[in-house]
């Protein structure tokens, strides 16, 4: 019995030992699992911290590029260097940094194993869910990796991080550039040449697009014949390339024009064409992408699909225009009927947000944000600007000028960087050479034939040297680059992007650097006051307006502006400006009497405070009889019969337009003086002009 009792005790002891060992093992297993979890969390945190540090380094790189560009710009301006513009300089710095990132940093491999293989029926997915040991993980597609660089994933990831998402360009960098173009528009010269600008922008861009597209289709056929085309390249791809490369951006030329004060009309033609041309190019490219013929062959010409694309073009452009103008009108009404001007900071913030939201609103509604924000800028400058406080007017101008400068130089710096950091370049010598030839011929077909047709109806002809300068100034820039980088998924789009990048480099460096010598060679006037009108003939005209010398620059009349603007001006001056701003005549004086209560409600009290508000700031296009005073020698003549004299204080002579004497000197003496100089009095409605000798 004692032996059995001892055996039972031994058995219980061994069982207890086994249970203790089992508990200890489970505890150890639990601790090891917990430790593994802690290790995984620490690894994830370390990876996130490393990613954050890498992102900071990337942003610091671009900020350093901009800082270096600004300092070099100052040096160039100080030394009066004009052979290289700031945008070309930014591209050079971007190229240098791109070379360092691509070839100067050693490739560190952390993935030496062969990746697992899997087959997907519908191609790669943008998001992938994986079940790993009962846990679900989400993976996001970053892009295709070249098989030769499969073991350099870490370097590929670094280059991918400095390659921005194309939406960053469209939603963040482009809006301030386009808005500033509309907001800083010099309305006087722009509206005087409005018909020509619209012709170049719409008809000229369409001609350039289809010519380049068809010529490049022939180049693609040649590439296929000689075996240089390794993938699909359709006719619609060629037209798309024609649309994006037709977007001109003569920022370098215009900056030099502005610095040298080149001819105002030439500046207006180039600036207006480039601004409107960008809007047309982006809508045209959207219409070409929407071109979908019925049937199996979806890349051949189809009449119904063509007219559908034309309808899409008109719908997108008009819808974007209405949306941009409507946002500007809403902002004008808010700033007029509220007292935001008492709080300039809030006023500036609202102006900024409303202007930027126009771009995003148009894109969200399926329109084009570039067109919307452009016309929003023009509307804001024409209406809202008059309602802002003095402090806000300065803030808004400076704010968008700084944003425009930084965004533009950032894009050009990134262009230089992308030449080496973008990993899907397709260099085709035949396609690149054909593209250069196509853009020069397309620009020539845009400028010269249209200028000939426009000169048939223009009083102030577009002279030959102006046409040559416009042909020379057809640079490509930020808009063409942004449109090209927006979609680089296919072989054709990758080849387009590479070619566009090289075209931008060449035109900015060569044509931009040659602007100053070209101005001298073409004998284009520089040092011109933009607020002074100089007639194309040998005679100079002196027309004084109002009573003060501050009006001397406003000497162009309604007859000298574009006919389209003449149709619009009266309605805008009498109704829209009084409704949307504090300027213009009170609505009680322009609306019918039965609209008196509505007119009183919509008219700002400030319109009654100063009678000078009856004169519109834009009335350099329209003059009334009472606004005109004409001087000849010491004699002043007004158009409404009121006497005036430049020497009234000294008792000098004065004449009115109806022939009545208003001075105290001899009438015969004045007539003899007029006859001796053989002056001619011209009467055009309410406009009287004396051609004066150059020394007067």
Q: Compute the average pLDDT of residues 601-626.
A: 55
* Torsion sign (Cα): 359, 361, 365, 371: negative
pLDDT over 80 (residue 215): yes
Q: Which helix (H) or strand (E) holds 644?
A: strand 643-645
pLDDT over 50 (residue 79): yes
| Token pair for 276 | 């409107």
CA 71 to chain centre: 25
Strands (E), 340-426: none
Name the most confidently modeled range: 130-134, 341-345, 510-514, 677-681: 341-345
Are 358 and 376 in contact, with CB atoms under 8 Å apart?
yes
Burial class (CB in 10 A: 0-12, 13-18, 19+), 519: buried
Distance CA 219, CA 238 (A): 10
Q: Residue 613's pLDDT is what?
A: 44
For 166-293+305-522, CATH number out of 3.10.25.10, 3.90.420.10, 1.10.3720.10, 1.20.1530.20 equals 1.20.1530.20
pLDDT over 50 (residue 665): no
Using H for helix, E for strand and C for coil, what is the string for 534-598? CCCCCCEECCEECCCHHHCCCCCCHHHCCHHHHHHHHHHHHHHHHHHCCCCCCHHHHCCHHHHHH
Q: Lowest-confidence range among 152-156, 230-234, 273-277, 513-517?
A: 152-156
Name the most confidently modeled range: 114-118, 149-153, 262-266, 565-569: 262-266
Q: What tens digit of pLDDT does each residue of 283-321 get? A: 888 888 877 665 555 556 667 777 788 888 889 999 999
Q: Within 10 A of 271 (CB to CB), how many other CB atoms are there? A: 24
Using H for helix, E for strand and C for coil, what is the string for 69-119? HHHHHHHHHHHCCCCCCHHHHHHHHHHHHHHHHHHHCCCCCCCCCCCCCCC
Distance CA 625, CA 621 (A): 13
Domain parsing of the chain, residue ranges: 1-28+46-81, 166-293+305-522
Q: Residue 458's pLDDT is what?
A: 83
Using H for helix, E for strand and C for coil, what is the string for 122-147? CCCCCEEEEEECCEEEEEECCCCCCH
Distance CA 380, CA 581 (A): 11
Q: Lowest-confidence range among 241-245, 249-253, 651-655?
A: 651-655
Q: What tens digit of pLDDT does each residue of 109-133 get? A: 545 556 666 666 565 666 777 777 6
Answer yes or no: pTM beyond 0.85: no
Higher-scoring residue by pLDDT: 476, 423: 476
pLDDT over 90 (residue 326): yes
Terminal Cα distance for the chain, rounded: 145
Percent of the chain having pLDDT more than 90? 22
Smallest CA-to-CA distance from 226 within 515, 501, 434, 453 is with 434
- CA dist 77 to 252, 258, 400, 404, 410, Å? 14, 13, 22, 19, 20
What values do phi and psi take at 323, rounded to 5?
-65, -40
Q: Compute the average pLDDT of residues 561-578.
A: 73
* Mode of pairing for the β-strands spanning 654-656 and 635-638: parallel
Confidence of residue 430 (pLDDT cuts 50, 70, 90): very high
Percent of the chain having pLDDT more than 70? 66
- CA dist 607 to 535, 569, 577, 592, 601, Å? 35, 19, 11, 18, 12
Q: Residue 301's pLDDT is what?
A: 63
Q: Residue 502's pLDDT is what?
A: 94
Q: Lowest-confidence range among 275-279, 397-401, 588-592?
A: 588-592
């Amino acid at each position: 019995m004692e032996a059995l009792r001892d055996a039972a005790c031994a058995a219980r002891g061994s069982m207890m030992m086994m249970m203790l060992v089992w508990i200890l093992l489970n505890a150890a297993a639990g601790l090891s699992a917990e430790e593994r979890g802690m290790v995984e969390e620490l690894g994830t945190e370390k990876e996130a911290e490393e990613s954050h540090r890498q992102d900071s380094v990337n942003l610091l790189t671009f900020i350093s590029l901009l800082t270096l560009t600004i300092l070099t710009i100052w040096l160039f301006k100080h030394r009066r260097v004009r052979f290289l513009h700031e945008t070309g300089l930014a591209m050079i710095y971007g190229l240098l940094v791109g070379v360092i990132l691509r070839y100067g940093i050693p490739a560190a491999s952390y993935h030496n194993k062969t990746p697992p293989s899997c087959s997907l029926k519908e191609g790669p997915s943008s998001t992938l869910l994986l079940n790993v040991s009962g846990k679900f993980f989400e993976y996001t597609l970053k892009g295709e990796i070249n098989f030769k660089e499969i073991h350099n994933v870490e370097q590929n990831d670094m280059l991918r991080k400095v390659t921005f998402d194309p939406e960053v360009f469209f939603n963040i960098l482009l809006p301030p550039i386009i808005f500033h173009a509309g907001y800083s528009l010099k309305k006087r010269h722009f509206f005087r040449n409005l018909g020509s600008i619209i012709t170049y922008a719409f008809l000229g861009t369409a001609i350039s697009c289809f010519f380049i597209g068809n010529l490049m289709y022939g180049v693609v056929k040649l590439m296929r014949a000689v075996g240089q085309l390794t993938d699909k390249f359709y006719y619609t791809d060629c037209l798309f390339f024609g649309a994006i490369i037709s977007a001109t951006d003569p920022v370098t030329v215009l900056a030099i024009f502005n610095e040298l004060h080149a001819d105002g009309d030439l500046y207006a033609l180039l600036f207006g064409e480039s601004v409107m041309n960008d809007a047309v190019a982006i809508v045209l490219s959207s219409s070409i992408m929407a071109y979908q013929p019925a049937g199996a062959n979806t890349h051949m010409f189809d009449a119904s699909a063509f007219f559908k694309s034309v309808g899409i073009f008109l719908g997108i452009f008009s819808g974007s225009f209405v949306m941009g103008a409507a946002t500007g009108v809403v902002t004008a009404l808010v700033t007029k009927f509220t007292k935001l001007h008492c709080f300039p900071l809030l006023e500036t913030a609202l102006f900024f947000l409303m202007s930027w939201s126009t771009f995003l609103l148009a894109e969200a509604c399926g329109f084009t944000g570039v067109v919307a924000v452009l016309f929003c800028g023009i509307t804001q400058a024409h209406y809202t600007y008059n309602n802002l406080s003095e402090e806000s007017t300065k803030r808004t101008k400076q704010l968008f000028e700084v944003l425009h400068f930084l965004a533009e130089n950032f894009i050009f710096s990134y262009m230089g960087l992308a030449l080496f950091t973008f990993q899907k370049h397709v260099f085709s010598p035949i396609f690149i050479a054909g593209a250069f030839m196509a853009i020069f011929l397309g620009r020539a077909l845009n400028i010269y034939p249209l200028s000939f047709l426009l000169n048939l109806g223009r009083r102030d002809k577009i002279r030959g040297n102006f046409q040559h300068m416009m042909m020379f100034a057809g640079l490509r820039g930020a808009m063409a680059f942004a449109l090209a980088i927006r979609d680089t998924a296919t072989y054709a789009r990758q080849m387009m992007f590479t070619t566009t990048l090289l075209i931008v480099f060449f035109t900015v460096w060569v044509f931009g650097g040659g602007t100053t010598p070209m101005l001298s060679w073409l004998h284009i006037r520089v040092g011109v006051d933009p607020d002074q009108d100089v007639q194309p003939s040998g005679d100079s005209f002196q027309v004084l307006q109002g009573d003060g010398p501050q009006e001397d620059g406003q000497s162009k009349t309604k007859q000298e502006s574009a006919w389209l603007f003449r149709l619009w001006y009266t309605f805008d001056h009498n109704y829209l400006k009084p409704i949307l701003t504090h300027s213009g005549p009170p609505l009680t004086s322009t609306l019918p009497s039965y609209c008196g209560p509505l007119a009183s409600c919509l008219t700002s009290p400030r319109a009654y405070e100063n009678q000078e508000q009856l004169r519109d700031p834009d009335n350099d296009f329209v003059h009334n009889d009472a606004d005109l005073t004409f001087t000849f020698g010491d004699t002043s003549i007004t158009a409404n019969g009121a006497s005036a004299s430049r020497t009234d204080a000294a008792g000098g002579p004065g004449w009115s337009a109806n022939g009545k004497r208003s001075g105290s000197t001899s009438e015969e003496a004045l007539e003899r003086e007029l006859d001796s100089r053989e002056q001619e009095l011209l009467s055009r409605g309410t406009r009287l002009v004396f051609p004066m000798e150059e020394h007067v």
